[in-house]
Structure 1
Amino acid sequence: MFSVHLATILIIGTGINPARNLRATIIYNKDHAWDDYISSTHIPFFFLFFFPIVYL
């Protein structure tokens, strides 16, 4: 998780903080906000498991 956090800072300029994203998404409550929430919380975990498999 720490390495994914560091990698996303360099790529997209933000860190991983699902609690902050969830609070804003619930308050805003629009479809594209939920899409952004899912992409910001699930994609880092996907890469966390996908890249080691590709590397091997």
Structure 2
Amino acid sequence: MDKDRVIGSAKVVKGKVKEALGKAIGDAKLESEGKADKIKGEVQNAVGGLKDTLRGE
């Protein structure tokens, strides 16, 4: 498994937590940061998956 997949998955989790916390406390900035982190993580996870596929893993 490529390290980008691991890091990307961690960013997705971090983004979900930030987004939920932002919603809970009414902080729109924190919520939007969480959404952005989640998207970045999903992209990085996809890149890692592509690298795995190219390597034949």
Q: TM-score, normalised by structure 2?
A: 0.46
Greater relative CO (CA pairs within 8 A, separation 6+): 2
Structure with higher helix content: 2
Larger radius of gyration: 2
